[in-house]
């Protein structure tokens, strides 16, 4: 008979204690997931390059403007 799945030892090995190197969320590093079109992303990428900043920073600034 063929057994499909993990053996008990493998399950124990997989369920090891969580990594101590997990990233902890800080107040400064809160981000919001957004969906944007490919065309808009390309525009943001160009603008970020010209302004020597990141796409994330541009989107964060834009969101802050809209939410104020």
pLDDT string in tens for the chain (68-residue length)? 454 554 555 555 555 555 555 555 555 666 667 788 888 889 989 999 999 999 888 888 888 888 87
Q: In this structure, is residue 12 part of a structural domain? A: no
Cα(35)–Cα(58) distance, integer angstroms: 14
Q: In this structure, is residue 57 part of a structural domain? A: yes
Whole domain around residue 58: which residue ranges? 36-68
20, 28 Cβ separation under 8 angstroms:
no
Which residue, among 4, 13, 68, 62, has the nearest Cα to 36 in the 3D structure?
62
- What total of structural domains would you count in the chain? 1
Q: What are phi and psi of 33, to 5 degrees?
A: -75, 130
Give pTM, 2 decimals.
0.47
Q: In this structure, is residue 29 part of a structural domain? A: no
Q: In this structure, is residue 62 part of a structural domain? A: yes
Q: In this structure, is residue 61 part of a structural domain? A: yes
């Amino acid at each position: 008979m063929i057994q499909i799945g993990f053996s008990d030892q493998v399950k124990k090995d997989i369920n090891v204690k969580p990594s101590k190197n997990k990233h902890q969320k800080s107040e400064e590093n809160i981000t919001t997931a957004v969906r944007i079109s490919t065309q808009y992303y390309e525009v943001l990428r160009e603008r970020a390059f010209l302004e020597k900043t990141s796409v994330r920073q541009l989107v964060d600034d834009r969101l802050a403007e809209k939410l104020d």
